[in-house]
């Protein structure tokens, strides 16, 4: 009889431990959920800043540039120079244009194709605007570079992604 009583006490103690552990796990899950809810109310997403060099209208592209409209796999298009030449001051004449009929704003990054180093970056460009040139974000060697031009599109009201288009081009030295 003594062994049977010990077993019941043991089972009772183990059941109490399981209950305590389950209650602790539930408490931690509820606490984490509450933290996420509160944090989401205070952390605000800030969209990319508007490019201060953006100009309303259509660019007057200098002779020698292959300026074309580029259709994307998404519901937007853009225009830009397809032959990119670094200027003596390091800037890049790109003539990136967000057509008036687009419902998205655009942003551009130009990175080295080999090591993903960021060379140029625009701010946000609104429909009906263009950015004639970009300044380098860092100094880099003045030789031809294989580059990836990434055009990011953002929905106007929410700034959610409306797609990214990537072009593989060559950045020519001046």
- Among all chains, which residue has been given the structure tokens 């009889």? 1
Q: What is the pLDDT of residues 54-80, one digit of tens each?
A: 999 999 999 999 999 999 999 899 999
User: How many Å apart are CA 114 and CA 118, to the nearest integer?
Assistant: 11
Please identify every stretch of the chain with a pLDDT value under 70, giving residue numbers as ranges: 1-14, 45
Which sequence spans correspond to the domains of the chain?
1-44, 55-172
Q: Return the CATH number of the domain spanning residue range 55-172.
A: 2.60.40.2550
pTM: 0.74
pLDDT of 39 reads: 77
Encoding tokens for residue 16? 């109490």
């Amino acid at each position: 009889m003594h062994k049977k009583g010990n077993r019941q006490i043991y089972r009772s103690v183990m059941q109490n431990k399981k209950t305590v552990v389950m209650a602790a796990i539930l408490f931690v899950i509820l606490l984490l959920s509450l933290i996420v809810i509160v944090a989401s109310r205070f952390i605000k997403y800030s969209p990319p800043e508007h490019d201060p060099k953006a100009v309303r209208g259509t660019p007057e592209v200098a002779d020698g540039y292959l300026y074309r409209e580029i259709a994307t796999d998404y519901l937007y298009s853009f225009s830009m120079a397809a032959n990119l030449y670094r200027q003596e001051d390091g800037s890049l004449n790109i003539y990136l244009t967000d057509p008036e009929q687009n419902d998205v704003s655009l942003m551009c990054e130009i990175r080295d194709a080999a090591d993903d180093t960021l060379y140029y970056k625009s701010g946000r460009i609104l429909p009906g605007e263009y950015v004639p040139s970009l300044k380098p974000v860092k100094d880099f060697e003045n030789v031809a570079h294989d580059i990836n031009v990434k055009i990011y599109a953002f929905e106007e009201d929410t700034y959610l992604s409306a797609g990214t288009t990537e072009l593989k081009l060559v950045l020519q030295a001046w």
